[in-house]
Amino acid sequence: MSTPLYTIIGTPFSTFTRSITLALAHKGIPFTQVRCVPHSDKAYDNHPFGFLPTLVIHEIDGKTVNLKLRETSAIARYIDRIAPQPSLLISPGHGKAIIEEQLWEFVSLVGAHGFPAVEKGVVKPRVAAIDGGKLTDSAVREQIKPAVEHLKRLLSQVEELMADEGYVFGSQLSWADFFLFPLLADLKAVPEGELLSPRLVNWMEKMNKLEAVKATTPGTLSVGARPP
């Protein structure tokens, strides 16, 4: 078997990294994954600010380039261009979309507001408390109370943007699902997963049936893993 043309730099534990590996798996693009955490030497070797992920493109048109592409939304655009099918884009009429750009609006909102609210506010402190083993459940709940209140509001705003059933944009699986899923899979793995509404739980059950989701689950919080 030939060496994959793409390497993704980032631990499976990283939610932004998983958005990309979900798409690569869904589109059947072979890749190698280098498991490292943010701000590690490996991360800095590939990203000026030590963030995850970086997609290393080894060849373009048969020529070795080893180009390092950073920023998840830029990587998503590249993947769409080299492998347009199966499409992860939407058209007007998919879910609540009136124009195509509402897909990227959703993706950007999830990255800019969802990531800090879910990961920094709730999941990371909860996992640190579980691993530390010193705080009681009620002490943790007290500590993260403001973050939980913020997250509740954010989840209901996210749900507002979603179609009433199916994927984020109804019948069309899209990048919106692949950006939201890693965050909510982490949330579901901690006690604050109780914040997920029936609509979000149904959506997660639908997502869990995808082969790409199954293929990218090892190494994530949802199976009790820790980085890298």
Ligand X SMILES: N[C@@H](CCC(=O)N[C@@H](CS)C(=O)NCC(=O)O)C(=O)O
- Considering the complex, state which of residue 71 and residue 159 has its C-beta at the smaller distance from ligand X: 71
Which residue from 12, 38, 114, 193 is in contact with ligand X, where contact means CB under 6 A? 38
193 binds ligand X (CB under 6 A): no
Per CB under 6 A, the segment of 55-63, 65-73, 142-150, 173-181 that binds ligand X is 65-73
- Considering the complex, state which of residue 38 and residue 193 has its C-beta at the smaller distance from ligand X: 38
**Rounded Cα gap, residues 181 and 175, in angstroms:** 10
- Considering the complex, state which of residue 94 and residue 158 has its C-beta at the smaller distance from ligand X: 158
222 binds ligand X (CB under 6 A): no
Which residue from 72, 172, 174, 222 is in contact with ligand X, where contact means CB under 6 A? 72
Per CB under 6 A, the segment of 13-21, 134-142, 190-198, 207-215 that binds ligand X is 13-21
Contact code string over 103-132 relative to ligand X, x by CB under 6 A: --------x---------------------
- Considering the complex, state which of residue 58 and residue 70 has its C-beta at the smaller distance from ligand X: 70
- Considering the complex, state which of residue 15 and residue 33 has its C-beta at the smaller distance from ligand X: 15
